[in-house]
Amino acid sequence: MHDGHDHDHNHSTTFQPDHDTGPASPYEVLEAAVRELLIEKGVLTKEEIAKQIDMTDSRSGALGAKVVAKAWSDPAFKERFLKDCRSALAELDIDIGEVAEFVVIENTPDVHNVVVCTLCSCYPKLLLGIPPAWYKSLAYRSRTIREPRAVLKEFGTDIADNVEVRVHDSTADLRYIVLPARPEGTDGWDEDQLAAIVSRDCMIGTAVPKV
């Protein structure tokens, strides 16, 4: 989806750091019910589910930042990453499973990308870790589609009027990862230095790397 015009609204919702969003959502309740049913039917064991949860919990945005730094430093890897995310990550011994397709979207001088999941909170957990609370909030899920520039501004990210803002809606079958643009002034930096300026939010699209 594309943002082709400015919006003149009173933006009363400013997104805050991660916090508890309160009672479980209908999707979380459904997930718990399905999980119990799978265990009851013998499809999965509690141990197998716990192992998968532990693996997911061990992931964080630092893993994605490492991949971004690699793409910035290695043009050939970047090309493979944009073309086939799963295969490129496998080169770095990063397993993102087979449940959903992963697509990499690149920020350029002309286009800024931002990711949302309007239905629930589909998110590349195996690369970025647990999603932030605001990503799952109704305010973010509904407003990002309608007024992306206003939402980005509330995150402190001002996008120039001549830059197109594209909103990508994740689903259970398709997850997006933003490849942020490499900032000027980072020539000669090694991958560790580059990874240090890439936050989780940069790979969602609500922030940009800053030197």
Q: Name the catalytic one among 122, 170, 199, 202.
A: 122
Alpha helices (H) in 24-137, listed in sequence order = 26-40, 46-58, 61-73, 75-83, 85-91, 125-128, 133-136
Concerning whether 85 is annotated as a catalytic residue, the answer is no
Residues in CB range of 81: below 8 A, 6 or more apart: 67, 70, 71, 88, 89, 104, 179
Q: Name the catalytic one among 85, 117, 170, 202.
A: 117
| Cβ density class 58-75: b for 16+ within 10 Å, e for less | ebebebbbbbbbbbbbee
Concerning whether 202 is annotated as a catalytic residue, the answer is no
| Cβ density class 45-56: b for 16+ within 10 Å, e for less | eeeeeeeeeeee
Please check whether residue 115 is in contact with residue 207, taking contact to mean a CB–CB distance below 8 angstroms. Answer: no
Q: Name the catalytic one among 121, 170, 199, 202.
A: 121
Concerning whether 120 is annotated as a catalytic residue, the answer is yes
Q: Name the catalytic one among 25, 73, 120, 137.
A: 120
Residues designated catalytic: 117, 120-122
